[in-house]
Chains A and B, each alone.
Chain A
């Protein structure tokens, strides 16, 4: 497991976010307090409407909080975004269909003004990292959904950001592909030592991947519980049968149940 070097690369204090809608204000996030250390793998888990994606988007400076404080790498989210502190992986692969896989990985590098030679080197390196060497010249539609999402991870890693923000990246994939990608993601995390924030609504996925699980609940969106998840450094899919794994999964499930009153559902 990567060594925890930096304290509080993400620091959220009393953060709230209210969306103004036609049906009145919606408390998307309420009183969020959270600290993430460098090199951690943190999962946000919770039912729909609990604000897990919104919180990720606040960290990414894609949404603005209504009140409270947040720092990313010791800066405001906006400064961190301008310094390209993070790579963002969306629910869908969001590859540009008119660009080849190589061209898509190259996109952030072009935006950042890297030379052609350096781009070529980084494209090759990052496609290899996600096992997509040889697909550089293919167009997105020629790849399966899992491969497309791997390409989008390569794209997020291509400019070597400190952090990887992932918004249900494997949510649209079938379970077999998802298991496989989870294993690959863990290896990738060990290799690159990046801080990962990972949004999911799958309990096994969260427990399998994370060092810390943030259980969230809806209406208003808030943090219900933060569960440490130290399942050792070498995780394989087999650990999902171990008592330690099941114990944490149980705690997460209990947390979700308590946090969610199931009113009106």
Chain B
């Protein structure tokens, strides 16, 4: 009962509100085209017919939800997942580079944070560069990464993953620097009274204390990894992946396809973020966090 009251009802309400708005805008935005058509054909069109037509256009300005759902159903279930016309295939391509980039980014972020926390020099020298790295527009640097890595014969998954890494290491590095510095003075003094080594202080105090920060930053990192992977697919000549699907869709005015790809990306992000949330819950339970 609690689950229904706390989760299903609020989330459902928002979902219904979105659907209603979506249908409303679909009618408003697609109506001019239908009126135009009717005017050209010199026919009168009833309001009922107009509304029905706005939801069944082939290239609507804004496709209605059921059109997007139908497109997703068709490209997920009717087409073999190995086909390049299958949405599953494209999601799979983006998913793998997201995951690889996210993994590398998290690792890089954690290692940077460890280095920064243990060395004053690195703190002063690295931190400004880490922040600067994120002020470079990713759209500008992504094609460069692809081109440069192509020139040294690194192609396929890795260049795209590098773009995800470039984006995702940042929140992890910043979050973990804060997390690894989060232990109280008293907890650190305690370790000093035991004459604990630096690595013992790290593994028994700093690392466990930083866990909440790690999972929070990983949630942000996985979401922008996905953005990075999609951006990375745009300059690869639109071969495969959600990015390619978006690009192809916009070339040919396939708005339904674009929206289906967008929805798939959003769904993927939601699943990835909740998976990390799940891992965080399990870790919290092991670490005795007050429920």
Contact of A97 among B194, B195, B288 (CB under 8 A): B288
The B-contacting residues of A in range 129-145, CB under 8 angstroms, are 139-141
Q: Which residue of the partner chain A has the closest CB to B283?
A: A98
Q: Which residue of the partner chain A has the closest CB to B208?
A: A98
Q: Which residues of B contact A14 (CB under 8 A)?
A: none
Q: Is B196 an interface residue (CB 8 A)?
A: yes
Pairs A–B under 8 Å by Cβ, sample size 24? A62-B189, A62-B192, A62-B193, A81-B192, A81-B195, A82-B195, A86-B193, A90-B186, A91-B186, A92-B186, A94-B190, A96-B208, A98-B208, A98-B209, A98-B288, A100-B288, A108-B194, A110-B204, A111-B194, A111-B196, A111-B200, A112-B194, A139-B288, A140-B288
How many residues on A have C-beta within 8 angstroms of the other chain's C-beta atoms?
26
- Distance between A253 CB and nearest chain B CB, rounded to angstroms: 31
Please list the residues of chain B having a beta carbon within 8 angstroms of any beta carbon in chain A.
Answer: 184, 186-187, 189-196, 200, 204-205, 208-209, 211, 287-290
Q: Are A88 and B288 in contact (CB under 8 A)?
A: no
- Distance between B148 CB and nearest chain A CB, rounded to angstroms: 43
Instruction: State the CA gap A97–B184 with chains docked (Å).
Output: 12
Interface SS of chain B: helix
Q: Is A125 an interface residue (CB 8 A)?
A: no
Please list the residues of chain A having a beta carbon within 8 angstroms of any beta carbon in chain B.
Answer: 60-62, 81-82, 84, 86-88, 90-92, 94, 96-100, 107-108, 110-112, 139-141
Instruction: State the CA gap A100–B288 with chains docked (Å).
Output: 8
- Distance between B199 CB and nearest chain A CB, rounded to angstroms: 11
Q: Are A94 and B192 in contact (CB under 8 A)?
A: no
- Distance between A34 CB and nearest chain B CB, rounded to angstroms: 20
| With known contacts A90-B186, A92-B186, A81–B288 Cβ distance under 8 A | no
Best-surrounded residue of A84, A96, A97 (most CB of chain B within 10 A): A96
Instruction: State the CA gap A142–B203 with chains docked (Å).
Output: 24
Instruction: State the CA gap A140–B195 with chains docked (Å).
Output: 24
Q: Which residues of A contact B189 (CB under 8 A)?
A: 62, 88, 90
